[in-house]
Amino acid sequence: MTEFRADLLNGIALAYAGDAVYEVFVRDHLLAKGITKPGELQKNAVRFVSAKAQAYLIAEMEKDAFLTEEELSYFKRGRNAHSKTTAKNTDVITYRISTGFEAVFGFNHLTGKNERVAELATYCIKKISEQIL
């Protein structure tokens, strides 16, 4: 894959990529747990990928000082981006925070930081899994 100049991409573009990247990790996790029925996959995936879940994860990352300064700047770029789409099942603030969350994944993915993407995804899946139990 070609490495992108993340500094030239807007927060929405970064979030667009990051949404897909994080979703793949969640899907792999659910399938590895033996969940195979489409309805159950969707129900379980929402626990990880909803705007509320992503806002919770950002709060946890901030509490644990898990994000680098660079990642925080890309989070803010995504959070502060003006989107034409609106939140479906949450408030605007939570939706914007989740856009920032996705921008962090997009930034790392598009700049070839695959180990960091995996580290972020593992952290997120663990945090949500602990919350579900």
Q: Among this protein's residues, is 7 annotated catalytic?
A: no
Question: Do 91 and 49 contact (CB within 8 A), yes or no?
Answer: no
How far is 109 from 95, CA to CA, in rounded Å? 21
3-state SS assignment for residue 116: helix
Residues 6+ apart with CB under 8 A from 76: 100
Catalytic residue among 19, 28, 64, 91: 19
Angle at 126 between CA 125 and CA 132, to 5 degrees: 90
How far is 108 from 111, CA to CA, in rounded Å? 5
Tell me the catalytic residues.
19
